[in-house]
A and B are shown apart, each in its own frame.
Chain A
Amino acid sequence: MAKYLMLKHYRGAPEAVNDVPMDRWTPEEVSAHIQYMNDFAARLEKSGEFVDGQALAPEGAWVRYDGEGRPPVTDGPFAETKDLIAGWMIIDVDSYERAVELAGELSAAPGAGGKPIHEWLELRPFLTAPPTISE
């Protein structure tokens, strides 16, 4: 088994095929999209491949240490050009091929006009603990 992170972006990903902002869909299309995402997660729970899914607010800030006795420095809100993560789903699957298959399904979520968004998702393998047998 291997864990993969599927990252969804507010911005910074290559442009989707059906790239219409959500507030320009019909309310029914919004509902259909949300339903698709919920069903997808429920299906992965049933198949024993779901680990976690979370959504992130678009707002945030950069933070860094600024030396002994000083408060951390913050830099926000983010610049318009910053790559912005919208949320993630973590899956635990048998193979890279399966992870790609699932990311493809998630990217097919319906958008404007009820047609698939073809959104680009970032697929990243987790680094694991070292195996017991290594020679």
Chain B
Amino acid sequence: MDELLLRSIVPGVLGVLVRRGADFAAAEDAVQDALIEAVRVWPADPPRDPKAWLVTVAWRRFLDATRAETARRRREDLVEEEPTPGPAPGTDDTLQLYFLCAHPSLTPSSAVALTLRAVGGLTTRQIAQAYLVPEATMAQRISRAKRTVSGVRFDRPGDVSTVLRVLYLVFNEGYSGDLDLSAEAIRLTRRLAAAIDHPEVAGLLALMLLHHARRAARTAPDGSLVPLAEQDRGQWDTASIAEGVRILQSALARDRLGEYQAQAAVAALHADAPTAAETDWVQIAEWYDELVGLTGSPVVRLNRAVAVGEADGPRAGLAALAELDDTLPRYAAVAAYLHERDGDPGTAAKLYAEAARKAQNVAERDHLTRQAARLNSRKE
């Protein structure tokens, strides 16, 4: 059975149940039950219309559960209202689910978990493993999130930027364990882009595709990080790049710039350079100027300092860096890089060692330690 196909139907099924009047938490439980049943039954007896099958089974499960509780009155009302089975409009229901799962009343970690479960159709165990927490913990997080949004009216349009932030978080978590969160985020963003016509949705999808394209080149066989400039560009996924660039271009053509399109533009310029030396840093620095204007984010300013250092020389980069708060994450790493380029390996080595102490993940720490070691062991 095609698990991805199965999971792609899930939000539509959930949407039908909710539209028929099931509350979100109960509907979601019923759909999960139906999925488990599908895994059991389909291999021997595949349905002609998988979605209709899931709707029927999930609806029956929902009614059973409602009957088992005390809400008899409510059930009878629902049964009377039950619409005749037929093709359901898929996209609108799916879109509502995205908004619901990213609702502003949820914390980021809850929104991420709920999105992966209700929209992505993943099991609680898969999500728990991906985020390295016990399954019971993740189950609690998800059921609390469901309770939080259960009272939310399902008919108001949401703010798409909240959905994009959740999908960005899933993508950035990357790859840990058996579940590929980046690929999952791309799948969910792709479907969102099909359901809603919005340049920032396209921008985020392009950004993801362009970064995902570099994945094979980003780590060496021993697991160590390979920085962008040293990556084997032959290993980049050209199909993914081409798709990302195409999506980005048509988004930019609509002249409604946003932060994801601007970030994707930077990624596209990197993808476009046949070698690191041929990178168009002047244009990249200009895009970072746009991004600073759009977000004002200190992290963006830090990346801008790197781009300025490449476009106008390390002194200009250090000058841009000097305007920033030196407690920013990765500040020391950027300073180390610019000082090395400026011909001061002694200062750079000290800064790389400091950056390693401040690193927030093991791969980056090991990489920075190697950089310090490389400079300290150089022949004078």
Contact = CB atoms under 8 A, between A and B. Distances in A.
A binds B: yes
Interface of A: 21-27, 29-31, 34-35, 38, 55, 57-59
B362 interface: yes
B223 A30 contact: no
Q: What are the 6 closest A-B residue pairs judged by CB atoms, nearest first? A: A23-B372, A23-B353, A27-B370, A26-B377, A27-B373, A27-B374
Contact of A30 (B349, B357, B370): B370
Given A31-B224, A35-B222, A38-B223, A23 B362 contact: no
Nearest to B353: A23
B224 A23 contact: no
B38 to A, nearest CB: 33
Contact of A34 (B349, B366, B376, B377): B366
Given A23-B356, A24-B376, A30 B362 contact: no
A88 B243 CA distance: 44
Contacts of B357: 57-59
Q: Give the interface size bracket for B toward A.
A: 20 to 34
Given A23-B353, A35-B222, A38-B223, A30 B360 contact: no
B165 interface: no
Interface of B: 222-224, 349, 352-353, 356-360, 362, 365-366, 369-370, 372-374, 376-377
A78 B376 CA distance: 27
- What's the dominant secondary structure at chain A's contact region? helix
A26 B366 contact: no
A25 B222 contact: no
A30 B377 CA distance: 12
A7 to B, nearest CB: 17
A34 B373 CA distance: 14
Contacts of A31: 222, 224, 370
A21 B373 CA distance: 10
Given A31-B222, A34-B224, A38-B223, A25 B373 contact: yes
A38 B352 CA distance: 23
Q: Which of B224, B362, B365, B370 has the most CB of A within 10 A?
A: B370
A26 B373 CA distance: 5
A21 B352 CA distance: 13
28 contacts: A23-B352, A23-B356, A23-B369, A23-B372, A23-B373, A24-B373, A24-B376, A24-B377, A25-B377, A26-B373, A26-B374, A27-B374, A29-B373, A30-B366, A30-B370, A30-B373, A31-B224, A31-B370, A34-B222, A34-B224, A34-B366, A35-B222, A57-B357, A57-B358, A57-B359, A57-B360, A59-B357, A59-B358
Given A22-B369, A30-B369, A34-B224, 7 more contacts: A23-B376, A27-B370, A27-B377, A31-B222, A38-B223, A57-B359, A59-B358
Nearest to B377: A26
B370 A55 contact: no
A82 B155 CA distance: 57
Nearest to B360: A57
A22 B223 contact: no
Contacts of A30: 366, 369-370, 373
Contacts of B359: 57
B16 to A, nearest CB: 43
B220 to A, nearest CB: 9
B289 to A, nearest CB: 32
A35 B356 CA distance: 18
